[in-house]
């Protein structure tokens, strides 16, 4: 049992080390994250929400020591997921061929740069991708491979929600690298991104990449946000490295528990072996003493 537990613990530790070296699709070093919830009474419409995100992104990106900043509705490896259906221009859907339904994200300009998610083709979102501009979207390599395996997806159009409303058609302007959004031990899923300034959300996560230790910038970021809205709170401040570490915490706990049980089993096995060996030694000593007594000269008869 001890051998089985020790072997299992060793294999789990090996797989955990390999998991730590998996490419997540983004760089978590020197990145700070915090959650922002816009009060519905203050930010009642999409326009006011979009204005806040635009102004906040500009002010925070201008703070000394900050390289990039952006917003997303869902942070990778946070344990939250979202998907949405869409239709592809020129392709029909029915009961036998339903509309695609894939992972859906809302992000601001600066998000891909802050996360260091690679741009493979086309362009990223910028400040011109606002509510007054034509709808645009960015897809990841997995989605491009699934729906446009033998052609360039740039310039293709998808309709979010598969409702057929002409004004909702969004043009694909870029293809980015795959992100292991659900965890390091999950394969990347097809994803598409919409500008948060075109599809606002009153809840978002701020992502800030700095050229120094990210924790030292919390006060400056809070000040920048309060300059826009003195009553705006921030919550759940943590580094992106902490987010990634938390995503593998259950596996780390499993390794720790299995290692503990293996150590206990090894200790019990060692005690058992020691007891058996001690018993055998005592038996052997008694046997040798008995033989010595039987064959001693004093006990011989004439």
Domain that holds residue 286: 251-299
**Is 238 in the same domain as 261?**
no
Residue 264 sits in the same domain as residue 161: no
Shared domain check, 266 and 221: no
Residue 49 — pLDDT band, cuts 50, 70, 90? very high
Let me know if residue 18 belongs to a domain. Answer: no
Residue 267 phi/psi, 5-degree rounding, is -65, -45
- Asked whether residue 255 falls in the same domain as residue 113, the answer is no
Q: Tokens 């959004």 map to which residue?
A: 181
* Mean pLDDT, rounded, for 106-118: 96
11 domain-assigned:
no
Q: Are residues 200 and 258 in the same domain?
A: no
Helix (H) or strand (E) holding 184: none
Are residue 63 and residue 87 in the same domain, yes or no?
yes
Query: Taking 50 as the threshold, does the pLDDT of residue 86 lie above it?
Result: yes
Tally of domains within the chain: 2
Weakest-pLDDT range from 91-105, 111-125, 160-174, 262-276: 262-276
Cα angle 209, 210, 215 (rounded to 5 degrees) comes to: 100
Report the predicted TM-score, pTM, of the whole model to 2 decimal places: 0.77
Q: Is residue 13 in some structural domain?
A: no
Check residue 184 and give its pLDDT.
81
User: Cα 294 vs. chain centroid, distance in angstroms?
Assistant: 77
Burial (0-12, 13-18, 19+ Cβ within 10 Å), 46:
middle
pLDDT, tens digit (0-9, with 9 covering 90-100), for 199-250: 888 999 999 999 877 778 899 999 999 999 998 989 999 999 888 888 765 6
- Final residue of a domain: which of 245, 260, 278? 245
The fraction of the chain above a pLDDT of 90, given in percent, is 49
If asked whether residues 135 and 152 sit together in one domain, one would say: yes
Residue 288 has pLDDT above 90, yes or no: no
Do 90 and 133 reside in the same domain of the chain?
Answer: yes
- Does residue 19 form part of some domain? no
Mean pLDDT for the stretch of residues 36-59? 91
| Pair (104, 47) in one structural domain | yes
Write down which residue in 208, 228, 245 finishes a domain: 245
pLDDT band of residue 302 (cuts 50, 70, 90) is: very low
Is 7 a domain residue? no
Q: Which of 67, 69, 63 is nearest to 34 (CA)?
A: 69
Task: Assess whether 44 and 132 both reside in one domain.
Answer: yes
Output phi, psi for 22, to 5 deg: -70, 140
In a domain, 15, yes or no: no
pLDDT digits (tens, 9 = 90+) for 136-184: 999 999 999 999 999 999 999 999 864 444 558 999 999 999 999 888 8
Domain contains 39: yes
**276 in the same domain as 205:** no
Residue 4 belongs to a domain: no
Task: Give the domain-ending residue among 245, 264, 280.
Answer: 245
């Amino acid at each position: 049992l001890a051998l089985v537990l020790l072997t299992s613990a060793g294999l789990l530790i090996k797989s955990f080390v390999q998991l730590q070296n998996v490419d997540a699709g983004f760089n978590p070093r020197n990145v700070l994250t915090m959650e922002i919830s816009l009060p519905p009474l203050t930010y009642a419409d999409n326009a006011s929400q979009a204005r806040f995100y635009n102004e906040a992104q500009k002010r925070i990106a201008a703070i000394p020591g900050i390289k990039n900043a952006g917003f997303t509705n869902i942070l990778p490896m946070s344990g939250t997921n979202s998907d949405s259906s869409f239709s592809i221009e020129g392709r029909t859907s029915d009961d036998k061929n339903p509309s695609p339904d894939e992972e859906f994200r809302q992000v601001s300009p600066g998000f891909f740069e802050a996360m260091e998610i690679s741009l493979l083709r086309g362009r990223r979102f910028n400040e011109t991708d606002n509510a007054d501009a034509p709808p645009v979207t960015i897809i990841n390599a997995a989605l491009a491979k699934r729906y446009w395996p033998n052609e360039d997806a740039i310039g293709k159009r998808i309709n979010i929600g598969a409702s057929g409303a002409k004004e909702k058609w969004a043009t694909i302007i870029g293809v980015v690298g795959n992100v292991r959004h659900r965890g390091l031990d999950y394969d990347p899923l097809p994803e598409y991104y919409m500008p948060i300034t075109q599809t606002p959300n009153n809840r978002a996560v701020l992502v800030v990449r700095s050229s120094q230790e990210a924790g030292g910038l919390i006060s400056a970021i809070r000040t920048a946000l309060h300059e826009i809205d003195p009553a705006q709170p921030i919550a759940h401040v943590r580094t992106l490295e902490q987010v990634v570490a938390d995503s593998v915490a259950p596996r780390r706990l499993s390794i720790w528990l299995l290692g503990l049980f293996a150590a206990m089993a090894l200790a019990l096995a060692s005690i058992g072996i020691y007891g058996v060996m001690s018993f055998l030694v005592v038996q052997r000593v008694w046997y040798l003493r008995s033989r010595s007594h039987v064959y001693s000269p004093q006990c011989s008869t004439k």
